[in-house]
Amino acid sequence: MSIEQLELILSDTYQMDVSFPTIFGHRKEFMQSSYSIWSVNELLEYVSYELYPKDNASIAEIEEIVGCFKCMMSKYYHMRQDTQLMFSIAINLADNVLDILRAME
């Protein structure tokens, strides 16, 4: 699987349907949408960085990298209470991506 294929899967599954509520009165929903997009971008950047200089890998290799990303986000989650929402969304994203990758095997 190439980075571009992973990006298309994540974009189609997580980024295309994200809607941003009006900021007035819906602050938490707005933050969740923003953090969802942030976490997809962080995951793609992390996978690309870990694979460099290659631009593709087996699904098992990508699963391992996503698992490492999840562990890293879990560590950040426990560092500060005021950033837990952001990192919990990234952890949930990693879990969902792992499910998708396992289904593709």
Q: Could you tell me the residue range of the domain that residue 17 belongs to?
A: 3-104
| Residue range 28-35: mean pLDDT, rounded | 84
Tokens of 29: 């929903």
Q: Which amino acid is at 71?
A: C
Q: How many domains does the chain have?
A: 1
Interior CA angle at 19 toward 28 and 2, to 5°? Answer: 110
Asked if residue 19 has pLDDT above 90, the reply is: no
| Residue range 70-83: mean pLDDT, rounded | 96
pLDDT value at residue 23: 62
Distance CA 14, CA 63 (A): 18
Distance CA 10, CA 56 (A): 15
